[in-house]
């Protein structure tokens, strides 16, 4: 019998498991061979404090200290450059406020990303706040904490049945039945399936596909120091990655939970939008992938005990913010479960609570 079983070995599950391992015995069950195989292995790995709705921004802010300093820090400077073309003035103005960017001259924009096209770009804005996150190390470091506290991380462990029993829950993986007092549902796109298995009302999760193409460094430029480049209204973005450029069409297409892959047409549309703003054509796509960003109906995370069954704890709906919010989101779960007063404002805690969706 363990105190906590966590279903899901992505950033949501492994960070919650690490925090909970300070309060009791923990077992993480992950169906794939490795941690972070699904959404958590496919992200753009950005920490952008202003990205998301009010409760997400509160989690971002509360996570900043951890991102900057824990285990030597997970962040490296990147910056964010927004570009607009003719007719996009209103969307540009809205992004300026929402992302707390300041307008810069087109010359300044081109000095930062020399392939920007002065013939199509009409406005540009920038800030320094956006940072790259070392997502792989973050997952592995949380897993180390689980193991150091005596917890277990079990991969190739697909949960196929869950029953409520007097002492808590019985969780079936193959022919093994695990007993636990409390169950954490951190199954990403699959959280509603896990809830239904456990006889808990689903939250109405929508897994939305987002795709990425990796292209060679445009025109042979050294892209290492370029900021992340974004089209207005989050219509597409590009960011350097290991000497290459990642370009995303910023798609958000509703999918059933599955091992997501990119759609060629969607990628082509995104690459065309990017090409419109630059002087170097895309010569080839070296690789591509997609992941599912899973949202609650109100786009806020779902964190904490289920109102009908408090030993069933949600760590769900991380959307496009799973890494940037993980330090504070996992801490909130541990605080709520252990009875500690959360550091987050009580209004924010209520906005994140599963109870709001009932
Ligand atoms: C293209 C893209 C770009 C992104 N960019 C960013 C970014 O820049 N910054 C940011 O913070 N976030 C970003 N995100 C979002 C971030 O990746 C997600 O919010 C985060 O990874 C979600 O983590 P998770 O643990 O909830 O889900 P997942 O990583 O999907 O983990 C859920 C796990 O549950 C497991 N599971 C499911 N069912 C079962 C079962 N029955 N038994 C056992 N295990 C099960 C799955 O195998 C999976 O590993 C991006 C996402 C995408 C797709």
Which residue of 322, 325, 328 sits with most ligand 1 atoms within 8 Å of its CB, as the best mutation to test the pocket? 322
| Residue located nearest, by CA, to atom 20 of ligand 1 | 322
| pLDDT score of 128 | 96
Tallying the residues shown for the chain, one arrives at: 358
| pLDDT score of 27 | 99
Residue 233 per-residue DSSP state:
G
| pLDDT score of 97 | 96
Q: 30 C-alpha to center of ligand 1: Å?
A: 12
Please, are residues 294 and 205 in contact by the beta-carbon 8 Å criterion? yes
Residue 50 per-residue DSSP state:
T
| pLDDT score of 275 | 98
| pLDDT score of 24 | 98
How far apart are alpha carbons 242 and 245 in whole angstroms?
8
| pLDDT score of 271 | 98
- Token pair 């996150």 is at which residue? 133
| pLDDT score of 329 | 98
| pLDDT score of 225 | 97
Tokens of 126: 């920038």
| pLDDT score of 9 | 98
Residue 227 per-residue DSSP state:
P
| pLDDT score of 289 | 98
Q: 9 C-alpha to center of ligand 1: Å?
A: 9
Burial of 161 (0-12, 13-18, 19+ CB in 10 A): exposed
- Residues touching ligand 1 (Cβ under 6 Å) are 7-13, 29-32, 36-40, 42-46, 157-159, 186-190, 210, 212, 248, 291, 293, 318-324
First to last CA, the chain: 31
- Token pair 């002087």 is at which residue? 279
How far apart are alpha carbons 285 and 91 in whole angstroms?
29
Concatenated DSSP letters for 309-337?
-TTEEEEE--TT-HHHHHHHHHHHHHHHH
Question: How far is Cα of residue 241 from the mean position of the Cα atoms in its chain?
Answer: 17
Please, are residues 3 and 180 in contact by the beta-carbon 8 Å criterion? yes
- How does pLDDT run along the chain (358 residues), one tens digit per residue? 999 999 999 999 999 999 999 999 999 999 999 999 999 999 999 999 999 999 999 999 999 999 999 999 999 999 999 999 999 999 999 999 999 999 999 999 999 999 999 999 999 999 999 999 999 999 999 999 999 999 999 999 999 999 999 999 999 999 999 999 999 999 999 999 999 999 999 999 999 999 999 999 999 999 999 999 999 999 999 999 999 999 999 999 999 999 999 999 999 999 999 999 999 999 999 999 999 999 999 999 999 999 999 999 999 999 999 999 999 999 999 999 999 999 999 999 999 999 999 8
With a CB cutoff of 8 Å and minimum separation 6, the contacts of 90 are none
Strand ranges in the chain using DSSP code E only, listed in sequence order: 2-7, 26-29, 46-47, 75-77, 80-84, 102-104, 123-127, 131-133, 152-154, 159-165, 168-173, 176-185, 206-215, 228-231, 237-241, 244-248, 253-254, 287-295, 302-305, 312-316
| pLDDT score of 28 | 99
Q: 195 C-alpha to center of ligand 1: Å?
A: 17
| pLDDT score of 151 | 98
| pLDDT score of 181 | 98
Residue 338 CB neighbour total at 10 angstroms = 12
């Amino acid at each position: 019998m363990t105190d906590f079983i966590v279903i899901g070995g992505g950033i949501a599950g492994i960070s919650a498991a690490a925090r909970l391992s300070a309060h009791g015995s923990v077992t993480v069950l992950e169906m794939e061979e490795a941690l972070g195989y699904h959404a958590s292995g496919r992200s753009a790995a950005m920490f952008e404090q202003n990205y998301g709705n009010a409760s997400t921004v509160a989690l971002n802010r509360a996570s900043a200290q951890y991102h900057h300093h824990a285990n030597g820090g997970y962040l490296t400077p990147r910056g964010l450059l927004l570009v607009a073309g003719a007719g996009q003035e209103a969307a540009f103005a809205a992004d300026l406020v929402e992302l707390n960017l300041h307008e810069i001259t087109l010359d300044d924009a081109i000095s930062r990303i020399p392939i920007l096209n002065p013939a199509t770009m009409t406005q540009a804005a920038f800030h320094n706040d956006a940072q790259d996150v070392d997502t792989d190390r973050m997952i592995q470091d949380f897993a180390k904490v689980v193991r150091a506290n005596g917890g277990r991380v079990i991969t190739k462990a697909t949960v196929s049945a869950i029953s409520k029993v007097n002492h808590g829950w019985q969780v079936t993986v193959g022919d093994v039945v695990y007993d636990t007092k409390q169950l954490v549902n951190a199954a990403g796109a699959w959280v509603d399936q896990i809830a239904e298995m456990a006889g808990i009302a689903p939250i109405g999760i929508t897994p939305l596909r987002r795709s990425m193409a990796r292209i060679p460094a445009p025109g042979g430029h050294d892209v290492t120091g370029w900021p992340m480049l974004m089209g207005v209204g989050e219509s597409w973005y590009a960011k350097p990655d290991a000497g290459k450029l990642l370009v995303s069409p910023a798609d958000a297409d509703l999918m059933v939970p599955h091992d997501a892959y990119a759609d060629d047409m969607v990628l082509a549309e995104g690459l065309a939008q990017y090409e419109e703003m630059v002087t170097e054509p895309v010569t080839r796509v070296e690789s591509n992938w997609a992941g599912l960003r899973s949202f609650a109906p109100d786009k806020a995370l779902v964190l904490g005990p289920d109102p009908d069954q408090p030993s069933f704890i949600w760590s769900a709906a991380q959307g496009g913010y799973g890494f940037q919010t993980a330090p504070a989101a996992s801490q909130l779960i541990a605080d709520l479960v252990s009875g500690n007063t959360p550091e987050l404002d009580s209004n924010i805690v209520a906005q994140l609570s599963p109870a709001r969706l009932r």
